[in-house]
């Protein structure tokens, strides 16, 4: 029997894909009317993440409409702090708010898998429903980015407290980060055991660090986490996304052990091709505002990206789909990429 190949896995494992693969960060979300309908009926966002019926439905919504090459599990990077016992709230129009972690309470952070069992059930259900050529991506936040939310509680002050811990109390930050590496390993291994076929690590705030602190709090924790997952599941590809890491992308792709690198839109594609794609497959980096604009401008940028990057590339945005994105533009992007020749 001829096994159906998944284009995203082909790219990440070094084979030429049958067509150019595409998926979008935040492909399940507020730009979709069917998502907004569920959102309006639900008590809160966290409840949606932790109800397998709803999370499965939301994960599948963009796949049914647009047939992307991968589904990404509907959940959130802040479920790990929740599983560590940190009170978490998603407020309307305000984003996530966590209870700030106190220095003296670090010992009390213990990962309780039961609190996120619903996530693994969602993975099992989605896996059963997906078309055979569609890959399922599991994810978590990288330790640095999750630590930012745990220490500051929210993003209002651009994580000033976390940044001051990095300078003045690095041992405390190391401690939180190691707790997060342990929890993330368990959480991701459970997602893989339930059926996730690719893992993405979201380091949305990697760009806040540079130099030695980037090495200590971004590269080293990612390297450890990747090493531990690979020990248990050596063949599951891992994509890293150290957003806005600038000159940090090079050391990140060379030293962390990730199989693919997602790049943000600030990176020049010629430089990305020369310095990064020569090492590992890349993902990205269309500006999300071009997906809002759509039309000729978007198609020209897509053609340029696809021509430059060649088949060793997963088409995606440089960050998530924004809520004002017209649904038709998402359809155009997916069709354009999947039909692209050369």
- The candidate with the shortest Cα–Cα distance to 67, out of 341, 339, 342, is 339
Cis-peptide, bond into residue 285, ω within 30° of zero? yes
- Closer residue to ligand CP3 (CB): 90 or 336: 90
CA 317-319-322 angle, 5° bins: 95
List all residues 6 or more positions away from 336 whose beta carbon is below 8 Å from its beta carbon.
299, 302, 303
CB of 60 to ligand CP3, least distance (A): 11
CB of 244 to ligand CP3, least distance (A): 10
CB of 179 to ligand CP3, least distance (A): 19
Tell me the catalytic residues.
26, 30, 39, 76, 149
- Closer residue to ligand CP3 (CB): 200 or 312: 200
List all residues 6 or more positions away from 255 whose beta carbon is below 8 Å from its beta carbon.
219, 223
Between the CA atoms of 38, 41, 42 and 45, what dihedral angle is there, to the nearest 10 degrees?
50
Tokens of 258: 């990730």
Provide the 3-class DSSP secondary structure of residue 201: strand
How do beta strands 282-286 and 95-98 pair?
unpaired
- Closer residue to ligand CP3 (CB): 29 or 242: 29
- Closer residue to ligand CP3 (CB): 26 or 65: 26
DSSP 28-93: SSTTSHHHHHHHHHSS-HHHHHT-HHHHHHHHHHHHHHH--SEEE-S--TTHHHHHTT--EEEETT
- Closer residue to ligand CP3 (CB): 68 or 337: 68
How do beta strands 88-91 and 95-98 pair?
antiparallel
CB of 171 to ligand CP3, least distance (A): 25
- The candidate with the shortest Cα–Cα distance to 184, out of 171, 203, 166, 162, is 203
- Closer residue to ligand CP3 (CB): 204 or 283: 204
| Interface residue list for ligand CP3 (CB under 6 A) | 25-30, 39, 45, 72, 74-78, 90, 95-96, 139, 202, 204, 320
CB of 42 to ligand CP3, least distance (A): 9
């Amino acid at each position: 029997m001829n096994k159906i190949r998944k284009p995203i896995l082909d790219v990440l494992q070094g084979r030429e894909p049958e067509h150019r693969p595409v998926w979008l960060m935040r492909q399940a979300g507020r730009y979709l009317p069917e998502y907004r309908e569920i959102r309006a009926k639900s008590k809160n966002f966290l409840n949606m993440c932790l109800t397998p019926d709803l999370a499965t439905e939301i994960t599948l919504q963009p796949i049914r409409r647009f047939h992307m090459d991968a589904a990404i599990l509907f959940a959130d990077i802040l479920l790990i702090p929740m599983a560590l016992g940190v009170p978490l709230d998603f407020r309307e129009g305000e984003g996530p708010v966590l209870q700030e972690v106190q220095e003296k309470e670090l010992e009390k952070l213990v990962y309780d898998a039961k609190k996120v069992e619903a996530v693994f059930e969602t993975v099992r259900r989605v896996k059963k429903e997906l078309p055979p050529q569609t890959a399922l991506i599991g994810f978590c936040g990288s330790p640095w980015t999750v630590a930012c939310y745990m220490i500051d509680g929210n993003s209002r002050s651009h994580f000033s407290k976390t940044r001051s811990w990095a300078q003045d109390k690095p041992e405390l930050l190391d401690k939180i980060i190691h707790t997060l590496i342990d929890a993330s390993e368990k959480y991701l291994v459970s997602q893989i055991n339930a059926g996730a076929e690719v893992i993405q690590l979201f380091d949305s705030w990697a760009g806040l660090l540079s130099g030695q602190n980037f090495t200590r709090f971004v590269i080293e924790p990612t390297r450890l986490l990747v090493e531990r997952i690979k020990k248990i599941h050596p063949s599951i590809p891992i994509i890293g996304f150290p957003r806005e890491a600038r000159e940090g992308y090079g050391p990140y792709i060379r030293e962390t052990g990730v199989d693919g690198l997602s790049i943000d839109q600030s990176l020049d594609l010629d430089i990305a091709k020369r310095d990064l794609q020569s090492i590992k497959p890349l993902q990205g980096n269309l500006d999300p505002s071009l997906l809002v604009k759509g039309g000729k401008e978007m198609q020209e940028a897509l053609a340029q990206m696809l021509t430059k990057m060649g088949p060793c590339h997963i088409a995606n945005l440089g960050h998530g789909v924004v809520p004002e994105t017209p649904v038709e533009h998402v359809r155009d992007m997916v069709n354009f990429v999947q039909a692209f020749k050369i």
